[in-house]
């Protein structure tokens, strides 16, 4: 009887050791995944040194008359180690165009390469540096996944001041830090991002100005 009990006891001890080892492996793997996600190197989308972004994607303005936008790289002002930044000049109207709302305007950057979407699941925020020509300029950031790309629209952030230290655009460079969960899209299939001059950004739904953007990155 004692021999049988000892045998059962040894078997139970072996099972406990195996269970402990299993949970240790699971914990270690989970910790490594968590660590990778937390410490993934930033991926820069654009320094505005080339005609395409750093992922090889097309960049341009979008507009619906009577609203207009113009985007040019400039070496007159920039942030960071590069020599250029993006200057976006906008003229958002509030009358005319579709539905009499003045049309729309903004800037977009394609993040997918061919048919392969950008996987942003290793990152937690979108960052970039911004300043205005006069101060108090305004916009929201849009981001699209496969679904929104097919619809021809994007999910918008709050107005940019929410993500700035001074709570508004000034004439000095500030870093915008936007949590990715703001966008509520499939981060495994990111198609594009955009700078959008929406009616809600301006008193009476109209506004003009120039903003400078540099060092867009996923972190």
Over residues 70-85, the pLDDT tens digits come to: 999 999 999 988 899 9
The two structure tokens encoding residue 51: 């005609």
Res. 109: pLDDT tops 60:
yes
Phi, psi of 36 (to 5 degrees): -60, -45
- Whole-number pLDDT of residue 81: 84
Interval 7-19: pLDDT, tens: 545 565 655 545 5
Res. 28: pLDDT tops 50:
no
Pairwise pLDDT comparison (169 vs 24), residue with the higher score: 169
Q: Are 33 and 97 in contact (CB under 8 A)?
A: no
d(CA 186, CA 42): 19
- Whole-number pLDDT of residue 29: 44
Query: What is the pTM (predicted TM-score) of this model?
Result: 0.82
Residues near 119 by Cβ (< 8 Å), separated by ≥ 6?
A: 187, 188, 189, 190
Q: Among candidates 118, 122, 177, 121, which has minimal Cα distance to 149?
A: 118
Percent of the chain exceeding pLDDT 90 equals 80
Res. 25: pLDDT tops 90:
no
Going by pLDDT thresholds of 50, 70 and 90, the confidence category of residue 200 is very high
Provide mean pLDDT across the span 96-109: 96
Interval 128-180: pLDDT, tens: 999 999 999 999 999 999 999 999 999 999 999 999 999 999 999 999 999 99
Q: Among candidates 112, 177, 96, which has minimal Cα distance to 150?
A: 112
Provide mean pLDDT across the span 92-113: 97
The two structure tokens encoding residue 22: 């299993």
């Amino acid at each position: 009887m004692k021999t049988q009990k000892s045998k059962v006891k040894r078997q139970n001890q072996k099972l406990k050791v195996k269970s402990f080892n299993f949970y240790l492996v699971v914990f270690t793997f989970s910790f490594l995944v968590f660590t990778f996600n937390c410490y993934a190197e930033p991926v820069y989308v654009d320094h505005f040194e080339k005609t395409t972004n750093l992922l090889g994607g097309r960049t341009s303005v979008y507009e619906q008359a009577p609203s207009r936008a113009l985007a040019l790289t400039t070496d007159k002002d920039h942030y960071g180690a590069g020599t250029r930044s993006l200057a976006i000049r906008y003229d958002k109207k509030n009358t005319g165009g579709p539905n009499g709302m003045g049309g729309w305007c903004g800037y977009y950057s394609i993040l997918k390469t061919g048919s392969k979407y950008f996987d942003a699941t290793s990152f937690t925020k979108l960052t970039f540096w911004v300043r205005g020509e006069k101060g108090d300029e305004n916009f929201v950031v849009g981001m699209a996944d496969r679904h929104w790309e097919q619809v021809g629209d994007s999910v918008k952030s709050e107005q940019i001041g929410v993500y700035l230290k001074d709570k508004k655009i000034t004439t000095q460079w500030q870093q915008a830090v936007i949590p990715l969960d703001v966008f509520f899209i499939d981060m495994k299939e990111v198609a594009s991002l955009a700078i959008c001059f929406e009616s809600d950004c301006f008193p009476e739904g109209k506004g003009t100005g120039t903003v400078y953007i540099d060092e867009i990155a996923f972190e």
